[in-house]
Amino acid sequence: MHGDDKRVGLFGARKRLQQVEAELRRVKDQLQDQGGQLAEASARYDELRGKDAIAVENDIADARRLLAQIVSDAEAQDAVNAQQQADATKALTDVRQRIGSAQTELQGIRAQIVETQELALLQEAGIYEYRHRLADSVAYKGALERLKDAIKVSAKNNHAITATTNWTVNNSAVEGQRMVRDFSKLMLRAYNTEADNCVRSMRPHRLESSKDRLTKARDIISRLGKTMHINISASYHRLRLEELELTADYLAKVEQEKERVRAERERQRDEAQAQREFEKAKARLAKEQSHWRTAMMKWADAGDAAKIAEAEAKLAEIDDSIKAVEEREANIRTGWVYVISNVGSFGPDVVKIGLTRRLDPTERVRELGDASVPFKFDVHALIFDADAVSLETRLHQHLAGQRVNRVNLRREFFHVTPAEVLDVLRAMGLQDNLVDYVEEAEAEEWRSSQRISETERDSAAVA
């Protein structure tokens, strides 16, 4: 009887174990999404296989409690995540709304701001366009004087500002009118101060900024004087805007005339130096001519026919040289066109193409490199021509698209290489006029400076 009970209990335990195994498999499936918990349940499953029914029952209960806790924690975490997502969405919406409001406010502020930063104004500046076409700076100055007289007359005749006249102070219309008049004078003074500052600080590239600034000053005065209907009159405002335009035109014309005078003075200095060279050359040749004539007279007295012939040939050569110098002196268009570069100052692909009437064009090149640039110029080409003025003009026109300065055409620098200039000369059929041509710039001072700098950097790196 006891043996049967034992067999039945063992059979029941095995059956129960099978049920537990099935239960544990289900638990294992449920715990697949819970990484750490699944590993723990798997370990427990292996442990339960060798236990008796009571221990299994206890472990099943523990597993169920554990599973319930895991499910509860997961649901709680889902709720927390959902709430956090909702809070984040709401916060994002609020931030976007604040950004939109800030952008709208910023646009309003920008509309009231006048751009006065010098760098920004210069970057936007283009070729200056004259608002009033007059002949020269004297004409502009006269027009400005007449305009200033008109501004004074307008202010004196009370045409500069408008205001209401029906105000009363302490039931007194006279006191009200005095108050409005005083406020009007104060507002007009503020406006005129702003206008005068714009005139004093005027530069041609600041014109539009200054006009905008003065217009906004007028708008602010109108807003501040709204209760008394105080406004700067449209006619007076136009006069002061025209003053800004004429001032900018005047300054631009003065600078243009200064540049023309500088170029003319430079040409005159070159002409004067060339004239001195002509006189010096003629004096030297005349001195040589006198020596040879004296020598020929002595040889004639001695009856030396060979020496006399030599002297006559030399005198004929000197006569030809004197005639050539006189022709150069008489023909102001004859001269040298030079192509030079300054790698250390302007880079490897920039050349200057200029003109000189000097007998020795390299003297002019040396002058250009004396103090205005850190390194001396290198000569790439020297072209002698009876009409060097036209030759220089043709070269400049051919390379107009490569000009460095597209505004001031008196600046004779071009974005080309010496080889490209030689190709242009060949295309123009002037290669035979080349007295000298060097393609590669020597740039001795610049290259030596580079080597010294590299040596110093290497020494500093070692130290």
List pLDDT tens digits, range 93-105. Answer: 888 888 888 887 7
Span 287-314, average pLDDT: 85
- The residue ranges of every structural domain in the chain are 2-72, 137-258, 271-330, 335-455
Q: In terms of pTM, does the model score above 0.85?
A: no
Whether 12 has a pLDDT exceeding 60, the answer reads: no
| Pick from 244, 210, 200: nearest CA to 121 | 210
pLDDT band at 45 (very low <50, low <70, confident <90, very high): low
Q: What angle do CA 305, 309, 315 make, to 5 degrees?
A: 140
Span 431-435, average pLDDT: 77
Q: Which helix (H) or strand (E) holds 271?
A: helix 234-302
Q: Which residues contact 14 (CB under 8 A, 6 or more apart)?
A: none
Span 211-235, average pLDDT: 91
CA–CA distance, 84 with 272 (Å, rounded to integer): 88
- pLDDT single digits (tens) 371-405: 678 999 999 999 888 888 889 999 999 999 999 98
Eight-state DSSP code of residue 403: B
Q: 3-state SS of the chain: helix, strand, coil percent to 5?
A: 70, 5, 20
CB 284 within 8 A of CB 278: no
- pLDDT single digits (tens) 244-266: 999 999 998 998 888 888 877 87
Between the alpha carbon of residue 253 and those of residues 169, 245, 261, the distances in Å are: 53, 12, 12
Span 264-290, average pLDDT: 83
Between the alpha carbon of residue 213 and those of residues 36, 73, 114, the distances in Å are: 70, 66, 6
Q: What angle do CA 116, 121, 125 make, to 5 degrees?
A: 150
